[in-house]
Amino acid sequence: MIPVWVPDGPWIDGVRHAGAMTLDVASPSDGAVFATVGAAGPPDVHRAVTAAETAFHDRRWRGIPVLERQRVLGRAAEALRAHDGELGRLIAHEMGMPETAARYVEVPYAAGVLDYYAGLVASVGGETLPVDIPGVDPAFHVFTTRRPVEVAALITPWNFPLLLPVWKVAAALAAGTAVVLKPAPEAPLTALALVALLESAGVPPGVVNVLPGGDDVGAALCAHPGVRHISFTGSTAVGREVAAQAGQGLKRVQLELGGKSPALVFADADLDNAVSQCLFGVYFNSGQVCQAASRILVHQSQYDAFLEQFTARAQALRVGAATDPDTDLGPLVRASQLTVIQDHVDHALAGGARCLLGGHPLPGPGYFYAPTVLADVSPELSAFQEELFGPVAVVTPFATDPEGVALANATPYGLAAAVFTRHLRRALSISGELAAGTVWINTSQMQSPTVPFGGMKASGWGRELGRAGLEEFLDTQATWIDLHEAPPTYF
């Protein structure tokens, strides 16, 4: 099941290590362990950071001419495309994303990210600046250069086990940074496959190191003095811990955290399109998406019609094993998540919400939850406020535009939002009032390697993708050259 070219343990400086212990990898579709990999311990963390530091300082990657680095990243993108079938199956087995989605959405998108950052490698540069110094002839030549961060720790979750590591690794490589990647323990194999493909494309050993393991590995990376930048994607609770640890070491930090994104359906919205987009926004990857538009706020004039159409279409979604080509919704990643979701659903029903569809786990084996529609969900309920990471639509009516905006902003999060209306003036006015890093108008869940992505409020700091994602891994250095025939004296 695991391609023979995929390492099955910590990958440090181009060599597979045994690790301190072993880590079982189970398929969410049936709960069965299908692979065992070596898991890193504290000595592996130090070894990996040291390898990255050495790779940075001996310039084995950043010293390669820029056009060749572009070609390497381009070859890496083609390697992903060439192995799309194997990668799709691996993703399906590790985390339960339907294999068709993994192969035809996640893998091509990841390859596109590598292509995009390949194009930015040669754009890393500074500028020449004028100066103003009171009482002194400004005969100075001043320019800036962009210097890559030396070593970055990249900590990624399980829900997109190829795409999210690529977001970080591709930007870091475009900048010239060396990295240590710590994937989620539920899905380490896809990250190990990624480093194998990167090195086969020409990325030198030691530039990208991968440490499978648990929270202790991530904590050790954050605390290591050789790590100068931490890029973390995961829950807001863990993000706060990462930020605190980074503060102790005065490390740079980029956080892409949780979300509870709203979709606002106004009275003049195209109802068919709103229903279709909201279905995708709630149920893609079984709701295990940080920007999932799982809070649907519908104007009271459209509310009943929306619920009827949305519920009927949700009921038609096919739930099944990730490897079944007919599957629309695969399993959740772990059994414990079924209990978490059920607790929120039960709390919502006790608080006056109506369950129009689902509201319960499905028989195993595997960790399946029925597509669920909850109506009349009050803003104070946990299902409205908290990220459920499951296939649960929370639907609430509103009466006026200001009420809709207030409901949209009524959570601690600010990752994304969707607006459905036929009026451009309303769309732009409303989007400007939404505390969200991304706003979609008459669509949902769209992303591109060229467009920055990140959140406001408790959804994080900084941005990934786009030029902004590259900037996260660059420092600015200013250089002054005195051009005076007789340099000025000051004392």
Helix, strand, coil share of the chain (percent; to 5): 40, 20, 40
Among 106, 199, 278, 290, the active-site one is 290
Strand partners, 254: 231
| Residue at 292: amino acid letter | A
DSSP string, 4-62: TTS--S-EETTEE---SEEEEEE-TTT--EEEEEEE--HHHHHHHHHHHHHHHHTTTTT
Among 94, 256, 464, 472, the active-site one is 256
CA distance 490 to 475: 31
Contact 379, 387 (CB under 8 A): no
Place of tokens 């990898």: 25
- Cβ count near 264 (within 10 Å): 28
Contact 193, 88 (CB under 8 A): no
Radius of gyration of the chain (CA): 24
Look up 290 and say whether it is catalytic. Answer: yes
- CA distances for 360 relative to 286, 295, 357, 363, 371, angstroms: 14, 19, 9, 10, 9
Look up 78 and say whether it is catalytic. Answer: no
Nearest to 75 by CA among 203, 207, 204, 206: 203
CA distance 409 to 151: 37
3-class secondary structure, 275 = helix
CA distance 357 to 373: 5
Q: Which residues are catalytic?
A: 256, 290
